[in-house]
Amino acid sequence: MEKYYTYIGESTHISTYFAKVDLNLPEWQSYMGWNASIIPLESVLLEDTLARVHSKLPIEGAAVLKMEPHTCYKWHIDTERGCSINMLLHHTNSLCLFGKEINSENLAIRELNYNYNEFYLFNTREPHTVINFDGMRYLFSVKFKDFVDYNTAKSVLCQNAFENNTFSKLI
Ligand SMILES: [Fe+2]
């Protein structure tokens, strides 16, 4: 099964910031089935990796998405965006899976096993699910200003890596 995510860079600012604050403090609003706390663009752009992304593919903004323990976000594709950039801020025991239909009853699955402090380009147009077993789960997620599909974004950001030698762990 194909891999529907790509490591694009490390976090030095946002991960450090959220490690220091109480993640229960921000205001939460309902967004596409998530509890979301909006992060303004000027804060997003303090992160070097995301500022470089923004120079190639404009970012609209970002949000922290909160997920309650013992819940599952059903298998779905995102209808309003072609791809995103995600970073796991905190979890205890959760899974993010991509799935590909084998037949009418079975899916092949592949896990996005997030490392902390790392941003991943995420193909939101492929079926995916999140299962949160224990503890609150917090994910930082970027939305691009214009619709861009995963393969286009990946090639643009990979080109950026070759030009600037900045994204060091492209797979
Ligand atoms: Fe999604």
Q: Which of 70, 54, 74 is nearest to 62 (CA)?
A: 54
The rounded Å distance from CA 164 to ligand 1 centre is 30
Strand partners, 140: 64, 87
The domain in which residue 164 lies consists of: 5-169
**Predicted confidence (pLDDT) at residue 166 exceeds the cutoff of 90:** no
Instruction: Give percent of the chain with pLDDT exceeding 70.
Output: 92
Measured in angstroms, how far is the CA atom of residue 46 from the centroid of ligand 1? 25
Backbone φ and ψ for 36, nearest 5 degrees, come out as -120, 140
pTM for the predicted model, two decimal places: 0.90
Q: What is the C-alpha radius of gyration for the chain, rounded to an integer number of angstroms?
A: 16
3-state secondary structure (DSSP) of residue 25: coil
Instruction: Count other Cβ atoms within 10 Å, centred on residue 56.
Output: 12
CB atoms within 10 A of CB 8: 26
| Count of domains forming the chain | 1
Instruction: Over range 68-95, report the average pLDDT.
Output: 96
> For 18-76, what is each residue's pLDDT tens digit?
888 788 766 898 988 889 999 999 999 999 999 999 999 999 999 999 999 999 999 99
Round to whole Å and give the CA distance between 110 and 162.
Answer: 27
Which residues is 107 bridged to in the sheet? 101
How many A from CA of 51 to the centre of ligand 1?
A: 23
Q: What is the mean pLDDT of residues 134-161?
A: 91
The pLDDT assigned to 169 comes to 53
pLDDT at 85 over 80: yes
* Per-residue confidence (pLDDT) for residue 62, from 0 to 100: 96
Q: Rounded to an integer, what distance in angstroms lies between the CA atom of residue 69 and that of residue 140?
A: 17
Please check the confidence at residue 134 and state whether its pLDDT lies above 70.
yes
Cα(81) to centroid(ligand 1), Å: 9
C-beta of residue 140 within 8 angstroms of C-beta of residue 86? yes
Query: Over the chain, what is the mean pLDDT?
Result: 91
CATH classification of the domain holding 151? 2.60.120.10
pLDDT given at position 31: 84
Give the C-alpha separation, 90 to 62, whole Å: 16
* Res 33: pLDDT: 83
Ligand 1 being an ion, which residues bring their Cβ within 5 A of it? 78
Residue 110 pLDDT exceeds 80: yes
Q: What is the predicted pLDDT for the residue at 118?
A: 96
Q: What is the pLDDT of residue 163?
A: 53
Distance CA 13, CA 121 (A): 18
